Every structure is written in C-alpha cells, then in structure tokens.
Structure 1
Amino acid sequence: MSGKNNIISQIEAEQMTKEIPAFAPGDTVVVQVRVTEGNRERLQAFEGVVIGKRNRGMNSSFTVRKISYGVGVERTFQTFSKLIDSISVKRRGDVRQAKLYYLRDLSGKAARIKEKLG
C-alpha cells in the first residue's frame, strides 16, 4: 500500500513545479486565467479578495471574490491548474480568520478589508 502512495506523491511533486507567490485570505490577488474561445486562446484577469484557501498538495485550491456590476462573483481556482497563467498579489489584507465567508453578507464600504502595514 505504501509503495503505491510513494509513486503517487512522487508524480504529484513533479506536477507541482509552478512558482506560486505566498498569499493568504484577505489578500487582493490578480489571477491570469487562460480562456479558449473557438480556436484562439487569451488571458483573462480575475481580480478580487481571497476568501479561503485549501492546502492539500496537488489538490490545493483557493476562492477569490469580487464585485462585478454590483453583483458578488466568487470563483474557486485549483492552485496548480494548467489554466492559471500567473497569480500576483496586489495588496495584503489584515484579517484574523482563515475563511472570510462573512464578506458574502456585507456590501459596500462594510466589505472593505484593512491593509496590512509593514
């Protein structure tokens, strides 16, 4: 049983070579996503606040929330997905929770997050 587990973990380690910046819930990130329309491919930027992060090796994911035309939009990304071109951190947020699901109930200025200083 452990032999199979070693093989799987070795393959996963080879897949996880992508450089991912350190970010945490509360941070504002820009995720460049590859979008295929017909036969052409382009990059689409998705900018928002990270409201949750799931660290599970190859199966890691994170959820980004933004307000688009007055409507809240959340998108969950697989951290090591081939569709993600790059992730960049725009600003660091100062929060105490690991999951910021309470932001779903807030709107306007109440949904702002303090910036981490220093």
Structure 2
Amino acid sequence: MNAQEIIRSIEAEQIKSNLPDIYVGDTVKVGVKIKEGEKYRVQPYEGVVIAKRNGGINETITVRKVFSRRGR
C-alpha cells in the first residue's frame, strides 16, 4: 500500500455521506464563526456559491454574500 492509498482510505472513513449536493449558483445559508475577545459567536448570512475547489474531504466553496438594500 503506497502513501496515496493510505490517505484515501483514511479520508473514506472520515467523509460524511449525508451532506446535500451544492453547485455553483446555489443560494446557501452560512454560519461564520467570529472571535470577539475571548468568546466566539456564529453570524449567519445568506449568499450565492460562486466557486468550488478540490473534492471529497478537502472540498471548499466560495460564497458571495447577498446584500440587499430595501427601502431605498
């Protein structure tokens, strides 16, 4: 067994199977963890997925925050 096969087998054990499929263009709700002093809080926001990178356990998405100005 080479190093890549070992890494893939470990990743296969760790990856979650119950996550929804996310595609570029989807609107998602995200919770961002913010540190204020010694405490953390989660600030939720909604945005559009504009990029996806990598795959499997290392997959990342880029979300552009939807910013609406109502009343102007």
* TM-score in terms of structure 2 length: 0.67
Letter in 2 for 1:27: D
User: Counterparts of 1:27-38 in structure 2 under 5 Å?
Assistant: 27-38=26-37
- 1:24 corresponds in structure 2 to 23
- 1:49 corresponds in structure 2 to 48
Q: Which runs of no fewer than 5 residues in structure 1 stay unpaired?
A: 71-118
Structure 1 runs (4+) greater than 3 angstroms displaced? 67-70
- Give the conservation status (yes or no) of the 8 Å contact 2:34–2:43: yes
- 2:8 corresponds in structure 1 to 9
Distance 1:67 1:31, change over 3 A: closer
CA RMSD of aligned residues (A): 2.5
- Give the conservation status (yes or no) of the 8 Å contact 2:48–2:66: no
Letter in 1 for 2:12: A
Aligned length: 69
- 2:59 corresponds in structure 1 to 60
Identity of aligned residues (%): 46
Alpha-carbon shift at residue 21 of structure 1 (Å): 1.7
Q: Aligned partners of 2:36, 2:9: CA distance in 1, in Å?
A: 34
* 1:55-110, Cα deviation, whole Å (9 max, x unpaired): 4222211111125478xxxxxxxxxxxxxxxxxxxxxxxxxxxxxxxxxxxxxxxx
* 1:28-54, Cα deviation, whole Å (9 max, x unpaired): 101112223222121111311111222
